[in-house]
Amino acid sequence: GTDVKTPYTGLLGQDFTEMVKKSIGPKANPRLRRVMESFIQHMHDFAREISLTNDEWMMAVNMINEGGRMSDAKRNEGQLMCDVIGLESLVDDITSRAAAKAGESITSSAILGPFWRHDTPIRENGSTITFDTPADAQVVYMHGKVFCGSTGKPLANASVEAWQASTNGLYEQQDPRQREHNLRGKFITDSEGNYSFYCIRPTPYPVPDDGPAGKLLAMLDRHPWRPAHIHLIVQAEGCSPITTQIFDSDCKYLDNDSVFAVKDSLRVVFQPRKGDPKAKLDLEYNVSLAPE
Ligand code: MBD
Ligand code: FE
């Protein structure tokens, strides 16, 4: 409809909302009670505030159902729908802020996204995650140290897991032409805290736009693109793990990431690399973890 400011005229006000909240029984888990009371309150207030119609509500229900139908081990449309409204970034901020203590200099977090795999292989430092590298890809030697953010000491035996999309904009599990676990690897730091591997310079790419998240973006006159990024999960014993992404400071969409994950501190600059026949670019990236 065109009338975007219809005042609320229904009879079901706060009394009704209280009644629904009070239907939760005494044996419900306390945290769940708190979560659901708040959720019910906000959903009711939201429906009243915008005078949500039956058609609009059913449209949202159908989107959720469609997202569920197209989700599987390789596709998490529900997560993507949350991502395009900034919800995963908000939850990540809440969660990571709870972990970091004042005065520590810790690498910033960023959202996991839908393309992480739980079974990424461990590879040798100095080896590669790029196999059958496409002709338009630039190979990067990525290396650095993992530190403890409070003592500043390097951490041996830390795990640095990386994954990225290929230059065609697809992660390995979206693309039958990439080999299993292409552009993914886990590296264990040596006694001086060093990790190293060859990868490719990431390129901007659109989030999958053939589902409800993509339809929503189109209806909202938004684009599906993300700036070029490499995903990282860094973990070490005695420290809080960090899930993050690093962004090419020289690429499009840094200021309008479709999933709102960019932070200034996560921008990196790829440098020229000399004397290495395997890579024209070099990226040194150090990570600092918070002790538990
Ligand atoms: C991605 O590749 C991604 O990293 C995120 C956060 C969301 C959608 C696609
Ligand atoms: Fe990604």
- Residue-wise pLDDT for 59-73, tens only, equals 999 999 999 999 988
Q: Which of 71, 172, 210, 259 to mutate to test the pocket of ligand 1 (most atoms within 8 A of CB)?
A: 259
Q: Which of 30-39, 40-49, 92-101, 231-240 has the lowest mean pLDDT?
A: 92-101
The Cα 124–Cα 197 span in angstroms is 8
Q: 136: buried, middle or exposed (CB in 10 Å: 19+, 13-18, 0-12)? A: exposed
Q: Which of 109, 115, 168 to mutate to test the pocket of ligand 1 (most atoms within 8 A of CB)?
A: 115
> Taking 80 as the threshold, does the pLDDT of residue 222 lie above it?
yes
248 alpha carbon – ligand 2 mean position (Å): 13
> Taking 70 as the threshold, does the pLDDT of residue 7 lie above it?
no
The Cα 138–Cα 135 span in angstroms is 8
The Cα 43–Cα 102 span in angstroms is 35
The pLDDT assigned to 5 comes to 64
Q: What is the ipTM of this complex?
A: 0.98
The pLDDT assigned to 4 comes to 58
Q: How confident is the model at residue 97 (pLDDT cuts 50, 70, 90)?
A: confident
115 alpha carbon – ligand 1 mean position (Å): 7
Q: Which ligand is nearest to the CA of 164?
A: 2
The pLDDT assigned to 239 comes to 94
- Walk across the sheet containing 267-268 and list its strands: 184-188, 159-163, 229-235, 242-248, 267-268
The pLDDT assigned to 132 comes to 87
The pLDDT assigned to 96 comes to 84
> Taking 80 as the threshold, does the pLDDT of residue 42 lie above it?
yes
Contacts of 135 (CB under 8 A, 6+ apart): none
pTM of the complete model = 0.92
The pLDDT assigned to 247 comes to 98
> Taking 60 as the threshold, does the pLDDT of residue 1 lie above it?
no
- Residue-wise pLDDT for 199-215, tens only, equals 999 999 999 999 999 99
Q: Which atom of ligand 1 is nearest to the CA of 111?
A: 6
> Taking 50 as the threshold, does the pLDDT of residue 251 lie above it?
yes
Ligand 1 proximal residues by C-beta, below 6 Å: 80, 83, 111, 113-115, 207, 226, 259, 261
- Residue minimizing CA distance to atom 4 of ligand 1: 113
Q: What is the dihedral of CA 256, 258, 259, 260, to 10 degrees?
A: 10
What is the helix (H) or strand (E) element at residue 30, kind and residue range? helix 30-50
Asked whether the beta carbons of 172 and 184 are under 8 A apart, the reply is: yes
> Mean pLDDT, the chain, as a whole number?
94
Q: Which of 74, 172, 184, 226 to mutate to test the pocket of ligand 1 (most atoms within 8 A of CB)?
A: 226
Q: How many CB atoms lie within 10 A of CB 172?
A: 23
- Residue-wise pLDDT for 117-174, tens only, equals 999 999 999 999 999 899 999 999 999 999 999 899 999 999 999 999 999 999 999 9
288 alpha carbon – ligand 1 mean position (Å): 23
In this prediction, residues 247-267 reach a mean pLDDT of: 97
Q: How confident is the model at residue 104 (pLDDT cuts 50, 70, 90)?
A: low
Q: How much of the chain exceeds pLDDT 90, in percent?
A: 88
